[in-house]
Amino acid sequence: MRDFFIFSRMRKTITKLCWLFALALLISCGNSKKTKTTSKAEAAVTKTENLNLEINKNEVADLLQYLSSNELEGRATGSEGIEKAAQKIEGIFKENNLKPYFETYRHNFETEGVEGFNIVGVLPGNDPQLKEEFIILGAHYDHIGIQDPIDGDSIANGANDNAAGTVAVVEMAKKFAAIDDNKRSIMFVLFSAEELGLVGAKKLAKRLKADDLDLYTLFNFEMIGVPMANKDYIGYLTGYENSNFAEKFNEYSEEKVLGFLPQAKEYQLFKRSDNYPFYEAFKVPAQSISTFDFTNYNYYHHVADEAEKLDIPHMVKVIKSVIPGIYKMANTPEKEIRMNEQ
């Protein structure tokens, strides 16, 4: 009997130890799973927070200087100067492994007997479904060419209008090609014939609509070469009230990148740049960022619109500021940026 009692106690002790071991193992597994899940979430946040935002200011300055140099003679559509600009942009796209959307990087068109072409490069998305949705980052790279001379100068170099915006799009093409982590596809477009009435944008919007392109948003860069004074945002968004673009973009960026400028609405700037044909064709958020506020730059369509008058550190700041917002816009599971009800 005593042996049985001792054996019984031993069995109960062993059973208890087994239960304690099993409980400890269960808790350990639970903590392991929790740690693993938290680790994934933290990794996603860290990846966004640790985006490489560095922009080489010398490369920004060099490209701006070239595009607005006398050699390019004001980049009028159909001119030798805009051909040189196009070749420069195409070379950078090729170096960074962007794919042509068409057979080449060029989307050719004709307007009033003038041959023009937009430059179009694509960074395909990596998500099986979301890669069919497109974000367009655009700017016009043409200007008004040779004008009546002022103080012996007849070349309207178009540094702020819009070599500055062109540089921004090219720099973002380089940056996002290096990041190479976009679920949605990103299309980088340099429009021609903007100065002839948004012709290049109209032609491309019509073509992409015919292709049944699933356009999510278009973000256009227009005259970003000089800063505004006394603003709590970096650039204003045209058509601000038409969508939640600025609200969501600032949320993504965790800073106030985009703001409202009353003059932009007063002068109907939403309808006066290359974003507008895409809004008309697709009825999606298609809007422009600018930092030209009618008081901070006196050389619009003037031969004195030259690179030396622009603020390179400001341009770098603009480019860096939009990268996180574009990155999140390209990677959210749903299309969160939408038109407001009219």
Which one-letter DSSP state was computed for residue 70? G
Residue 319 is encoded by which pair of tokens? Answer: 């480019």
Choice between 43 and 289, residue whose per-residue pLDDT is larger:
289
Given pLDDT bands bounded at 50, 70 and 90, which one contains residue 50?
confident
**In this prediction, what percent of the chain has a pLDDT beyond 70?**
85
- 30 pLDDT more than 80: no
pLDDT tens sequence across 224-250 = 999 999 999 999 999 999 999 999 999
pLDDT tens sequence across 211-223 = 999 999 999 999 9
Integer Cα distance of 101 and 106 in angstroms: 9
- 6 pLDDT more than 80: no
- 3 pLDDT more than 50: no
Integer Cα distance of 27 and 21 in angstroms: 10
To the nearest 10°, report the CA torsion of 147, 170, 95, 91: -10
Integer Cα distance of 187 and 326 in angstroms: 12
pLDDT of residue 342: 64
Using alpha carbons only, what angle is made at residue 275 by residues 328 and 199, rounded to the nearest 5 degrees? Answer: 140
**Helix or strand holding residue 108 (H, E):** strand 106-111
Q: Measure the N-to-C terminal CA separation of the chain; round to a whole number of Å.
A: 90
**Nearest one of 277, 113, 294 to 197, comparing CA atoms:** 277
